[in-house]
Chain A
Amino acid sequence: KNQVEQSPQSLIILEGKNCTLQCNYTVSPFSNLRWYKQDTGRGPVSLTIMTFSENTKSNGRYTATLDADTKQSSLHITASQLSDSASYICVVSPTTGNQFYFGTGTSLTVIP
């Protein structure tokens, strides 16, 4: 069964600190993995995309890694800011069909 699991479910960190969010998936055959950021009351916005051959991708203070062998991805946020408070969703696409498989997200709160 194609599944995407994220951890932790929620996280609170101090402004300026780093954090890492995890995503494990069983989606097969794998095409790509995206991390989305969803601000409260808004639609998700793509942060990074990685295909099978890419194992790291950066977007400013966000760095995503992918291990296609173990089917794990992480999103590392450096020097967190209050505006990083949001839900982060891991989304995996298979090569067949147009389906997306969503994790339930990690809710990040950055406090001053």
Chain B
Amino acid sequence: DVKVTQSSRYLVKRTGEKVFLECVQDMDHENMFWYRQDPGLGLRLIYFSYDVKMKEKGDIPEGYSVSREKKERFSLILESASTNQTSMYLCASITDGTRTEAFFGQGTRLTVV
């Protein structure tokens, strides 16, 4: 079975802290994405990566950075957490080809206080 694993289901962090969200996939996919999901706004793309050490900004990259040192691992970094980054964060690993499918992790509910 396809598996995308996010390191934490729930996180509570203080304003100003540096936060690391980890995502690991076991499907050997090249494409990995980070989204945040907020009520009424749906999923919004933060960053994505096509390959190891490659990264591209999505629609809302401000306040975030990413790291892809290995193919299976894609990390999202909040350099200095703020309360407006309280959200559900979803990692996706995506197939190639015409019938592209996004396989999602279980999500990390981050609360910044």
Contact = CB atoms under 8 A, between A and B. Distances in A.
Interface residues of B, number: 25
Contacts of A103: 42
B68 interface: no
Interface of A: 31-32, 34, 41-46, 49, 51, 89, 91, 93, 95, 98-100, 102-105
Interface stretch (B13-21, B70-78, B79-87, B105-113): B105-113
Contacts, number: 54
A43 B106 contact: yes
Contacts of A46: 101-103
Nearest to A6: B42
Given A43-B107, A98-B48, A98-B94, A51 B42 contact: no
Nearest to B107: A43
A98 B50 contact: yes
Contact of B101 (A49, A95, A104, A105): A49
27 contacts: A31-B98, A31-B100, A32-B98, A32-B99, A32-B100, A41-B107, A41-B109, A42-B107, A43-B107, A44-B102, A45-B104, A46-B101, A49-B99, A51-B98, A51-B99, A89-B43, A91-B102, A95-B98, A98-B48, A98-B94, A100-B33, A100-B94, A100-B100, A100-B102, A102-B42, A102-B43, A103-B42
